[in-house]
Structure 1
Amino acid sequence: MMRQYELVERVQKYKPDANEALLNKAYVYAMQKHGQQKRASGDPYISHPLEVAAILTEMRLDESTIAVALLHDTIEDTSATRAEIDEMFGDDIGALVEGLTKIKKLDLVTKKAKQAENLRKLLLAISDDVRVLLVKLADRLHNMRTLDHMSSEKRKRISEETMDIYAPLAGRMGMQDMREELEDLSFRHINPEAYETVTKRLGDLSTRNEGLVTKIEDELRELLQAQGLANAQVKGRQKQPYSVFRKMQSKSLSFEQLSDVYGFRIIVDDIPSCYRALGIVHTRWRVVPGRFKDYISTPKQNDYQSVHTTIVGPSRQRIELQIRSRRMNDIAEYGIAAHSLYKDGRDAQDGALSPKSNAYSWLRRTIESLAEGENAEEFLEHTKLELFQDQVFCFTPKGQLIALPRGATPIDFAYAVHTNIGDTCVGAKINGRIMPLVTRLANGDEVEIVRSGIQVPPPAWEEIVVTGKARAAIRKATRAAIRKQYSGLGHRILERTFERAGKAFSRDAMKPALHRLGQKDIEDAIASVGRGELSSLDVLRAVFPDHQDERVTVKPNADDGWFNMRSAAGMVFKLPGRSKASLEAADSDGPEALPIRGLSGNAEVHFGPAGAVPGDRIVGIMEKDRGITIYPIQSPILQKFDDEPDRWIDIRWDLDEANNTRFMARIMINALNEPGTLAEISQVVATADTNILRLAMGRIAADFSELVLDLEVWDLRQLNSLITQLKELPCVSTISRVYE
């Protein structure tokens, strides 16, 4: 276990004027509070915050952050309080410790919703002070290093969470070395067999190529120094097991097919020297085509800068090279921790991280997406989409650089520019050519979005896009569009209900009644009526508590038939007393009935399974979360709703003369089971200008088959004409309309 003086010495090596008293006080306080607590390994608990602090000293962080690392578990696991820490160490350190405490209350949970809420709280805490992230990542790294003392189930659960969230989050913040170690430690517990196999193969390869890395380093260094880059450093290493395994999986390669297991970094003084080194290397060795990337001119979103190339280098070995300056190397290794954002007296000219840095821009966009997701699970999904994707860089017509995940489409591009542009997108030009919206963008593409003011994002776009922001915005727009449809239907239902009760409907009149209806606002209440969750009669009674709904009771007749009548509120009641014929003859085509047109894309009105066609006598049934379902009056399923009169809605057709919408109807045919029967029936259907949407066929006797056809027709007249023609076929025994 590290000693107190060793920790202080580590900090003073890179910051001689560090506040030694603060570090000593934090150490003593943490030691006293944790007391005799033990870790699962049996070590004193204080060893954990000490090791977390030691990890942060490797990043050369200030003494305040080191103190937070020492204290980060005190509020959570001891009798320490926020007020006590504020008094001893100041509000700044107290806020950071409490932020980490709130996170740990939900840490390492199994339920997806709680894991998502944990991530939400983590990012919100980071938005106040990014040091929360640095301490959290160091905390997770030490926990992963000491995971062997946990049960196998817990090891796997913690490793999966680390692989899903913390490792990619470290990568997005530019902390590549920490990301790689977190991934390898997680890989070891998630897939131990694969980890052992890859590790063994890498070990065998290292034994066979003993001295190869050193040889290549020396040859590269000598070449660069001979060409005038005297201060150039060359560092080589074998790739990590998880990196090798991921490449084997993503490219479907065997271990023997991997040709770039070794990677080398060339570190020089400045940017001009980077490109000079690149020219020297490319002049000396053959370049592998398609393997060059310039992240100096176009940095990654996490501020990473470097030139990547692959060459067939010394000993005919294919190797990857990363060429960067020393400043770039610090950022590549330590990410946001390499910036002097937290050091007093520094400004942007001295390397401090600008608030406009790419890493913070990504973090802000991710946190903004909190408002887009309907729930914590959606937020987790959006964040994972952002974390895991590699990037492509595209441009607006004005030259603005837009970084997107690999595989992104013009729709993702539009939403990356602005949500409103994505919502109104109808087309795209890529490099001046009109291209489909499903086109995958490539590095360097110039994208121009074509917009329309009447566009609403189709729900199918959600399956096309790859960015969390686009997916969240499409879901939000889809929910808003459906809510608007239900609200429109609810408004029409309420207008008719109030009118038939002799009352005037207005939105303002609903305000005082919202609490009685259990609704937050007027639009929610109206949309609930449209969805069938709230009865229009309940709204009427809530607005006018003294209203008396008069209903007529009719004694049953001997024929056990049914007859149709309206209440003052306009609902269709089915009461015993008349023949079925009188029901069918009842007038419901007047202006009081709710008019419907074509239902294409209409979320709040649906037909029953057997359909209905213009000319049918129809009624509507309110169904929760589906709005109105329309049935022909002959449908036997309506009997299920006899005891629920408030769910009945009077419906009438309202079609233009130029109607070009077909409607579905179902018929059943008993026909001879002989060759040519189906062909004859199909020929009649086609000749009658109708279409078979669906067909089911089964044998009911040795010589007869039953055919159930779902047909698309213009109206009832056309359907009846078709049925008459089918009856005349010699192969048809019986035919009937199905109303189920």
Structure 2
Amino acid sequence: MTDAAPPAEQPSPGPSSPSRFLISDLCASLESYLPLEQVSEVYRAYLFGAEAHQGQSRKSGEPYIYHPLAVARTLSTMHMDYKCLIAAILHDVIEDTPIAKDRLAEVFDSEVAELVDGVSKLSQIDFASRAEAQAASLQKMLLAMTRDIRVILIKLADRLHNMRTLGVMSGESRRRISRETLDIFAPIANRLGISSIRVELEELGFSHYWPWRHLILERAVQKASGARSELLAGVEATIKRRLQQEGIQGEVKSRCKNLYSIYRKMKEKRRSFSEVVDVFGVRVTVDRVDTCYRVLGQVHNLYKPVPGRFKDYIAIPKANGYQSLHTVLFGPQGVPLEIQIRTEAMERGAESGIAAHWMYKSGGQHPNSPANLANDWLQNLLVMQQGAGNPQDFLENVKVDLFPDDVYVFTPKGRILTLKRASTVVDFAYAIHSDVGNTCVGGKIDRRLAALSTPLRSGQTVEVITAPGGKPNPGWLAFVVTGKARAGIRGYLKSLKAKEAEALGRRLLSAELNALGSDLAQLAPAAIVGYLDDAGLPDAAALLVDIGLGNRLPALVARRLVGGEVDSAGAAAGAVAEPHPHRFAIRGTEGMVVTFARCCRPIPGDVVAAVFSPGRGIVVHRQECRNLSSLETRRNKRLDVEWAPEPDGDFPVEIRVDIGNRRGALAVVAGVIAEQGSNIENVQSTEKDGSTSTLEFLVTVRGRQHLARIMRRLRQIPLVMRITRVSR
């Protein structure tokens, strides 16, 4: 739910521009750090862009070229290289003008063309919805970013100027764009350590999406600021005097937390504004790392530290490369104050993050530098892409990974890994390597065995136990929290499902061919190739997967392959097929492509039937299941099946027990079920009246005989009045 528009006295969000920023201003700025020949190339790009956008204007009425010029201005303050600035000026040319990528490569070079293409949306493809189109465009941009980080820097500068001028858009558009900014772009800026852009994106997004909340919080901060200004000035002066006495050179200044950060902390930790202790604080900037720790000792001598509120982000940087010492002190009058202590280089890194790699070339090789940490994250994006089923899945994985409330844990060899809060042993395993995650079977936390779902805490040492036969469990998706782990598990299950679908498709097609007096080995290669061409499939394996997933009926495919008259369109799983007496044997080991209907819970020994479900494979029902009656008119999707002579595995079934309402009754029934070698997966209890209760158990059995033994034994319990098998 979004807020209504604020009252008229609220200032319009975003900084106001007293005068128009011109190309001459940009060139003058660039001359401070770029050679003249490169500045000339930027000017040439401006002339090219101005001509391409000739006649176009923004919703505000200003000529369109002012927008890319403003984007380049933001990047120039980050001292980006000239090709990045050229791409910034031309970033909308491919998307909004007839000029193609090849033309840009010809006029400038392929590097510039690739940068511009990476920022451009996918406008040539038809999508089913705005959400799908948005996800696909963001996926394209993020994958382009993995090849060249400058793509996202251009996009962040582009989004920043759009947010500064968002007031001309309709209310619905403002909310949609602001939501996307808060969900995607501000977190990306944070993940890359660019706080100068992140803070403004958050403030603008917050003010447009929740205008009332922004206004109320802004007034609260202004009121508190007036009350605490004298106190902060006193703390500043006291720290400055102490540093001078100790001969320490440094800058001391007070600061205020940005409004959106305050809002998020209040919301996530369920605190009132008065309970947020780091709204105001003091930042001390010095020359060297060892001086930071000297200053820490001095401020702890001046004011008592709050226990448990010290964080050393210098020794263990944040995931985005941020470094600083944070400590909360009991200030004058007992008011808690946060003190941040950092070097000048850390201050630059906090403002520009990954962009500091271009501004200050030294230090980029440090493993905890923003450039290297950003590169690690980019590699994780590629892993997520490989495991994602579609652009929207990929985007959800990225969103999960963009909000790391960090936990710092150690490998047995002392390497530090930064993970998202509530990460588990499985998340840790995938953070080490995808292969480690895929073969993980157990873990140790501080040398003690721990469940794979155990949440990790900072400072713990974690060891992963792997086995050659280990494989991901679908249940892991219920507790993993990192995008890399989620993508790795889904990617493995996707490939496993494809293998199982191919094996099932081979069995189904072979059974149909045998019924027609043929088999796969006897088929003419020309018939197979002709069918694949007509169906638009790359190879026979893809055809078998399609059959196994229920997308094509094996009977129709078999007839076509042996020379029948069914065309390729009829081979899809919507055409009519005649039933035949051959029954397909269910072994219980088919995996994810054979599922057992939850409505009737078929088990070995039941008379069963199955239906094809596109994308899922085969769904098996009991013959008497009332849901099958709706399929009588759609026999094309029906499959005659039977149980194999010795099915393998345990099968879930539901039983309902009416029992006298006595203390310990549930324990007695559960004990009997366990004695019969069955596992209870779920139980629900409902009190019918004061004297009786109904217990519904989901238990696993090997077949009807096993279930009959359990039910016979339960009937022998004096408290049991009735027992039935449940079919919904």
TM (norm. structure 2) is: 0.80
Q: Which of residues 195, 216, 223 is equivalent to 1:176?
A: 195
C-alpha contact (below 8 Å) 1:497/1:570 kept by paired residues: no
Q: Distance in 1 between matches of 2:78 and 2:623?
A: 76
Q: Which residue of 2 aligns with 1:294?
A: 312
Q: Distance in 1 between matches of 2:297 and 2:478?
A: 44
What is the CA deviation profile of residues 554-574 of structure 1, one whole-angstrom value per residue up to 9, with x for unaligned ones?
xxxxxxxxxxxxxxx99644x
C-alpha contact (below 8 Å) 1:604/1:627 kept by paired residues: yes
Q: Does 1:236 align with 2:254?
A: yes
What is the CA deviation profile of residues 430-468 of structure 1, one whole-angstrom value per residue up to 9, with x for unaligned ones?
110111212111222211111233333221211201111
Q: Which residue of 1 aligns with 2:452?
A: 437
Q: Which amino acid aligns with 2:66?
A: S
Deviation, structure 1 residue 526: 2.5
Matched position secondary structure for 1:385: helix
Q: Which of residues 591, 596, 612 is equivalent to 1:606?
A: 596
Q: Distance in 2 between matches of 1:131 and 1:122?
A: 11
Q: Distance in 2 between matches of 1:739 and 1:301?
A: 51
Q: Does 1:205 align with 2:195?
A: no
Q: Distance in 1 between matches of 2:710 and 2:82?
A: 87
| Segment of structure 1 superposing worse, 530-539 or 165-174 | 530-539
Q: Which residue of 2 aligns with 1:312?
A: 330
Q: Which residue of 2 aligns with 1:154?
A: 173
C-alpha contact (below 8 Å) 1:507/1:522 kept by paired residues: no
What is the CA deviation profile of residues 80-104 of structure 1, one whole-angstrom value per residue up to 9, with x for unaligned ones?
5555544554444344334334478
Q: Distance in 2 between matches of 1:213 and 1:35?
A: 53
Deviation, structure 1 residue 534: 2.7
Q: Does 1:251 align with 2:242?
A: no
Q: Which residue of 1 aligns with 2:186?
A: 167
What is the CA deviation profile of residues 318-361 of structure 1, one whole-angstrom value per residue up to 9, with x for unaligned ones?
221221111111111111222237x9xx6778999989711122
Alignment of 1:341-740 (within 5 A): 357-506=372-521, 512=529, 513-516=531-534, 518-545=536-563, 572-573=580-581, 594-596=584-586, 603-606=593-596, 609-610=599-600, 615-618=605-608, 620-630=610-620, 640-641=631-632, 644=635, 647-655=638-646, 664=653
Distance change (3 Å), C-alpha of 1:547 and 1:139: closer
Q: Which residue of 2 aligns with 1:60?
A: 79
Deviation, structure 1 residue 470: 0.8
> What number of residue pairs does the alignment pair up?
679
Q: Which residue of 1 aligns with 2:13?
A: none
Deviation, structure 1 residue 543: 3.3
Q: Which residue of 2 aligns with 1:186?
A: 205
Identity in percent: 35
Deviation, structure 1 residue 193: 0.8
Matched position secondary structure for 1:416: helix
Deviation, structure 1 residue 39: 2.8
Distance change (3 Å), C-alpha of 1:282 and 1:534: same
Q: Which of residues 198, 219, 223 is equivalent to 2:238?
A: 219
Distance change (3 Å), C-alpha of 1:443 and 1:514: same
Distance change (3 Å), C-alpha of 1:643 and 1:338: closer
Q: Distance in 2 between matches of 1:448 and 1:211?
A: 51
What is the CA deviation profile of residues 443-498 of structure 1, one whole-angstrom value per residue up to 9, with x for unaligned ones?
22211111233333221211201111111121222233334444333333333333
Matched position secondary structure for 1:320: strand
| Segment of structure 1 superposing worse, 202-211 or 7-16 | 7-16
Distance change (3 Å), C-alpha of 1:216 and 1:16: farther
Q: Which of residues 347, 350, 360 is equivalent to 1:332?
A: 350
Distance change (3 Å), C-alpha of 1:697 and 1:177: closer
C-alpha contact (below 8 Å) 2:523/2:562 kept by paired residues: no
Q: Which amino acid aligns with 1:388?
A: F
Q: Distance in 2 between matches of 1:713 and 1:88?
A: 72
Q: Distance in 1 between matches of 2:482 and 2:431?
A: 9
Q: Distance in 2 between matches of 1:27 and 1:718?
A: 79
Q: Which of residues 127, 135, 138 is equivalent to 1:119?
A: 138
Distance change (3 Å), C-alpha of 1:737 and 1:75: closer
Distance change (3 Å), C-alpha of 1:320 and 1:597: same
Q: Does 1:262 align with 2:280?
A: yes
Distance change (3 Å), C-alpha of 1:235 and 1:667: closer
Q: Distance in 2 between matches of 1:29 and 1:148?
A: 29
Q: Distance in 2 between matches of 1:140 and 1:242?
A: 17
Distance change (3 Å), C-alpha of 1:9 and 1:522: same
Q: Distance in 2 between matches of 1:280 and 1:482?
A: 61
Distance change (3 Å), C-alpha of 1:10 and 1:722: closer
Matched position secondary structure for 1:319: strand
Distance change (3 Å), C-alpha of 1:539 and 1:696: farther
Q: Which amino acid aligns with 1:387?
A: L
Q: Which amino acid aligns with 1:122?
A: M
Q: Which amino acid aligns with 1:403?
A: T
Q: Does 1:10 align with 2:37?
A: no
Q: Which of residues 60, 67, 71 is equivalent to 2:90?
A: 71
C-alpha contact (below 8 Å) 1:306/1:328 kept by paired residues: yes
Q: Which amino acid aligns with 1:433?
A: R
Distance change (3 Å), C-alpha of 1:251 and 1:18: farther
Q: Give the gaps of 5 or more residues in structure 1.
A: 549-568, 574-591, 700-705
Distance change (3 Å), C-alpha of 1:614 and 1:2: closer
Matched position secondary structure for 2:229: coil
Q: Which amino acid aligns with 1:604?
A: V
Deviation, structure 1 residue 201: 0.7
What is the CA deviation profile of residues 581-606 of structure 1, one whole-angstrom value per residue up to 9, with x for unaligned ones?
xxxxxxxxxxx865445679765052
Deviation, structure 1 residue 505: 3.0
C-alpha contact (below 8 Å) 2:676/2:710 kept by paired residues: no
| Segment of structure 1 superposing worse, 42-51 or 621-630 | 621-630
Q: Which amino acid aligns with 1:357?
A: N
Matched position secondary structure for 2:642: strand
Q: Distance in 1 between matches of 2:321 and 2:58?
A: 37
- RMSD of equivalent CA atoms: 4.6
Q: Which amino acid aligns with 1:52?
A: V
C-alpha contact (below 8 Å) 1:632/1:739 kept by paired residues: no
Matched position secondary structure for 1:93: helix
Deviation, structure 1 residue 616: 5.0
Distance change (3 Å), C-alpha of 1:248 and 1:507: farther
What is the CA deviation profile of residues 103-131 of structure 1, one whole-angstrom value per residue up to 9, with x for unaligned ones?
7889xx98222221121121233233322
Q: Distance in 2 between matches of 1:405 and 1:723?
A: 47
Matched position secondary structure for 1:13: coil
Distance change (3 Å), C-alpha of 1:733 and 1:514: same
Matched position secondary structure for 1:493: helix
| Segment of structure 1 superposing worse, 325-334 or 450-459 | 450-459
Q: Distance in 2 between matches of 1:718 and 1:4?
A: 83
Q: Which amino acid aligns with 1:46?
A: I
Matched position secondary structure for 2:79: coil
C-alpha contact (below 8 Å) 1:174/1:331 kept by paired residues: yes
Distance change (3 Å), C-alpha of 1:315 and 1:228: farther
Higher Rg of the two aligned structures? 1
Distance change (3 Å), C-alpha of 1:226 and 1:476: same
Q: Which of residues 276, 284, 290 is equivalent to 2:302?
A: 284
Matched position secondary structure for 1:287: coil
Q: Does 1:272 align with 2:290?
A: yes
| Segment of structure 1 superposing worse, 628-637 or 330-339 | 628-637
Deviation, structure 1 residue 58: 2.1
What is the CA deviation profile of residues 405-449 of structure 1, one whole-angstrom value per residue up to 9, with x for unaligned ones?
111111101111111211221211011011121211122221111
